[in-house]
Structure 1
Amino acid sequence: MTGLIPCAIHLFGLFFIPESPRWLAKTGRRKDFEEALQKLRGENADISQETAEIQEYIETLERLPKAKFLDMFERRYARSVIIGVGLMVGKQLGGINGISFYASNILEQAGFSAALGTILYAIIQVVVTGLIATVIDKTGRKPLLLVSATGLVIGSLLIAISFYLKVHVLALESVPCLAAAGIFLFIAAFSAGMGAIPWVVMSEIFPINIKGVAGGLATLVNWSGAWIVSYTFNYLMGWNSYGTFVIYAGVNALTIVFITMVVPETKGRTLEEIHEAINNFPEQRVSTSVDLLVYEACNDIVESLISLERKSFKEKKGKKKRKYGIEPGDVGKDSAETVLMDQTAHVKKLRTTLYLLKTLRTQPQLSRTS
């Protein structure tokens, strides 16, 4: 019955969560979108530029086909998916569920009081999670992830050393302290970063058109990893107690490398800036500049065409008026005015195409063939 209390609090809190401004913009609720964004940024904040950027971004995505599951594996989304899925893999395969579910058994085998250990475990988890929630936007996501993963490595190694000493009957008096210290450090480090921040990063890195399917994939990987660790923990402990935690330490060490090399810092950046930074691979940066130059040059051509057509229309209209004595409103459908209207429509289509070129310039195959 006590388990119903957190669920009830969670359900009650859902009524106070505001809608996402970008979702409101996507569904065409402009007024609600602006109100939600203003509420998030503060009453005195100037949201005009951000509003325009979000609208522009949404309009571009609306021109694209609806995202399917296989679309996530296209080159332009590859890095976003790798980051989201990679963080979930590192989070779960680092051993959190094995240590969390069997903490009392681990402490008992090491000779530490299971009752005292589980109480301290829960206190540390709650306190550290609360503290980190207050500083995550000041310190940034990536530093906390690196500190967290480093703590997981050290905690795993401490537990491994305690079991190694026990198995080889060495310094038995230090075994309980080492095991307890390792578990408490492990849960503190996990709560400081790898527990919650992968979910935060996942909500920021996926473009809105694949957010649903990509988020679903990352969640599936997360809980699949949780099941794997929970299922295999007892088998690994039966095979080699200290070797189990050495494996977890190795996985967490690889997670440090992954975070350092792949995961970007998202603090203080809009979602549009994050997506642009993530999708600009090193080999695409030169082609991106070329695409921008092409866009600017083509836009200049469009402006010139419009200017020439207007000038041409005025001249033709003036000649007709002088020659036949007709007023501008009398010009027929086949006149220069109709031609100009048709050409203006084509120009608008060209502008839309050029805008898509600017926005979707992260397609590497386009730059290679151009």
Structure 2
Amino acid sequence: MAAEESRYLLGYPASDAYQRVQNKKLYLATFAAVLGPLSFGFVLGYSSPVIPELREINDPTLRLDSSQASWFGSVVTLGAAAGGILGGYLVDRVGRKLSLMLCSIPYVSGYVVIISAQNVWMLYFGRILTGLASGITSLVVPVYISEISHTKVRGMLGSCVQLMVVTGILGAYIAGITLKWHWLAVLCSFPPCIMLLLMSFMPETPRFLLNQNKHAEAIASLQFLRGPYMDHEWECRQIKANVEEEGLNLYEFKNPSIYRPLLIGMALMFLQQVTGINAVMFYAEIIFEDANFKDSRMASVVVGAVQVCFTAVAALIIDKTGRKVLLYMSGIIMAVSTALFGLYFKMVLPHGNNSSNANLCFTLNSVSPGTENNLSWLAVVSLGLFVAGFAVGWGPVPWLVMSEIFPLKARGISSGACVLTNWVMAFLVTKEFHDLIALISYGTFWLFSAFCCLSVIFTAFYVPETKGQTLEQIEAHFRRS
């Protein structure tokens, strides 16, 4: 063992140190953590099957009109933005594990409020609570997984966050076909309860424990996560070398090793949303209807299944291909598909640029007879390309990179800023999409295509490749820069 340790200390690749690692309990801890993103996915998917039911419900105090239905779907993003701020505080104050366990409270409370709702405002409040939990989850889980993982599997396990989100969305779509809105809320409350139970048996991350000067607890955590055959003291020394015990103050944001990764992370979250994912998904139902998919709920299931499949592909290959390759490929595919969307709308919407009615772009009644059916294949192909492209790169990778690039002492506040950026942009894109369509019609999708091209350029010049590097090596890279 002494000979092996000397090899690692003399500068051999960090991945060599993990030849003896046992991953079973690491995978168990990851599974417990990603029940949070699964819960988050159920929150996002819940509104799709429920809104049509609530718009037709007999109870006038709960019946939603068009405006209320829009708020019921989008108010989650406001709760999630607040959750990002709260999560940034919690993750550094009480730790990664406890923050994740605390998420189960607003998750379950939100569904209880929805189930017992007596008016529309209670429905909103329940959605805000589940959104708050989603915001905390979207921050804490990537940090937790990145800090318990080693370099050989960190990309794959980090990508499981987005995989479980889209799995939750798909699960809500499928369950919504048969379950009423009350019972669907009951089903959605199960994953956070199971997460709370399992996480109580999982360890805190070694990096957080060492930052709290809890060396013995960090060793115990590594023994659980790596198995008995690793040199846990060696890994502790590698982590400890980069752990800075003093707190973070605002003056330190002048340091490039702090502000550069923060700006990269926020830009990734901004670009993820302005590439148009929420807008395109919003229109998916109409596209399938035009292509003679009469059951819009089943169309949502098809879209969700495509997301799950390609996110799983990304998780399997990301540690071999690297992060930047997937971002390049994803950005190019999305740029092409959104450009095709714009072409489709230009051909099927006569006088689209002169339209004063935004609803024209969501109904094809004014199209020349047969035009939309002849071109519906173009819309469906564009939709499939876009969803697949997003799922393989710009869906999972920004969350993974966010969890890798921040220095330990700035991880909480920097991650919070990124999550806030993501959810605020998600809200703005979702709410302003109608107005943008009314203003520039099919040009909206060409604008999204331009942002997709910008995302490729940004990746080329500013996003670091983190494949095969420890978190400490990534931090050292920004310090050297």
Partner of 1:27: 212
Q: How many residues are aligned here?
A: 277
Question: What does residue 396 of structure 2 align with?
Answer: 196
- The letter of the residue matching 2:267 is G
Go from structure 1 to structure 2 and tell me whether the alpha carbon gap of 1:68 and 1:38 turns closer, same or farther (over 3 Å shift): same
The more displaced of 114-123 and 95-104 is 114-123
The corresponding residue for 1:143 is 325
Q: Is the 8 A contact 1:68 1:213 kept in 2?
A: no
Higher relative contact order (CA 8 A, sep 6+): 2
Residues 1:92 and 2:292 are matched in the alignment? no
State the identity as a percent.
32
Tell me what 2:418 maps to.
218
Residue 30 of structure 1 aligns to which amino acid in structure 2? H
Q: CA deviation at 1:106?
A: 4.4
Q: Which residue of 2 aligns with 1:131?
A: 313
- Unaligned residue ranges in structure 2 (runs of 5+): 1-182, 351-367
CA deviation profile, 1:229-266 (whole Å, cap 9, x unmatched)? 00111112222332111000101110111111111111
TM-score, structure 1 as length reference: 0.68
**1:102 paired residue number:** 283
2:259: which partner in 1? 78
Look up the match of 1:206: 406
Q: Counterpart of 2:437?
A: 237
Partner of 2:239: 54
Stretch deviating more after TM superposition (1-10 or 187-196): 1-10
Residue aligned with 1:102, SS: helix
| TM-score normalised to structure 2 length | 0.53
| 2:464 is aligned with 1:255 | no
Work out whether residues 72 and 81 of structure 1, in 8 Å CA contact, stay in contact via their aligned partners in 2: no
Residue 196 of structure 1 deviates from its aligned partner by 1.8
Aligned equivalents of 1:26, 1:84: Cα separation in 2: 23
- The CA deviation at 1:43 is 3.8
Matches of 1:5 and 1:146, distance apart in 2 = 38
- For 1:267, the equivalent position in structure 2 comes to 467
36-45 or 257-266: which moved more? 36-45
Give 3-state SS (helix, strand or coil) of 1:57's partner: coil
Deviations 1:211-239 (A, max 9, x none): 11111111110001101100111112222
Q: Say whether residues 1:154 and 2:336 are aligned partners.
A: yes
Deviations 1:102-152 (CA, angstroms, capped at 9, x unpaired): 321344467765625323211111222223223222322221122111221
Q: Distance in 1 between matches of 2:252 and 2:237?
A: 27
Q: Which amino acid aligns with 1:267?
A: K
- Give the drift of 1:32: 2.3
Amino acid corresponding to residue 480 of structure 2 in structure 1: N
Report if the CA contact (8 A) 1:110-1:166 is conserved: no
Kindly provide the amino acid, as one letter, of the partner of residue 280 in structure 2.
I
Code of the aligned partner of 2:229: N
> Equivalent residues in 2 for 1:162-173 (5 A)?
162-168=344-350, 172-173=372-373
Matched, 1:187 2:369: no
For 2:188 and 2:465, the matched residues in 1 are separated by 32
> What residue in structure 2 maps to residue 8 of structure 1?
190
**Deviation, structure 1 residue 4:** 4.3
Q: Which amino acid aligns with 2:440?
A: N
Is 172-181 or 36-45 further displaced after alignment? 36-45
> Secondary structure in 1 aligned to 2:465?
coil
- Inter-CA distance 129–231: structure 2 relative to 1 (3 Å threshold): same
SS at match of 2:320: helix
Task: Name the CA distance, whole Å, in 2 between partners of 1:70 and 1:216.
Answer: 18
Q: Secondary structure at the match of 1:209?
A: helix
Which segment drifts farther, 101-110 or 121-130?
Answer: 101-110
- How far did 1:8 drift? 2.2
The one-letter amino acid paired with 1:262 is: Y
Equivalent residues of 1:152, 1:189 under 8 A apart? yes
1:276/1:158 Cα in 2 relative to 1: closer, same or farther (>3 Å)?
same
* Structure showing greater Rg: 1
Could you tell me how far apart the structure 2 residues matched to 1:70 and 1:48 are?
34
**Do the aligned partners of 1:57 and 1:272 also contact (CA within 8 Å) in 2?**
yes
Contact kept in structure 1, 2:338 and 2:445, CA below 8 Å: yes
Shift in Å, 1:52? 0.9
Q: Which structure 1 residue ranges, 5 or more long, are not aligned?
A: 282-370
State the secondary structure of the residue aligned to 1:2. helix
Contact preservation (8 Å) 1:80, 1:205: yes
Partners of 2:456 and 2:377 lie apart in 1 by: 26
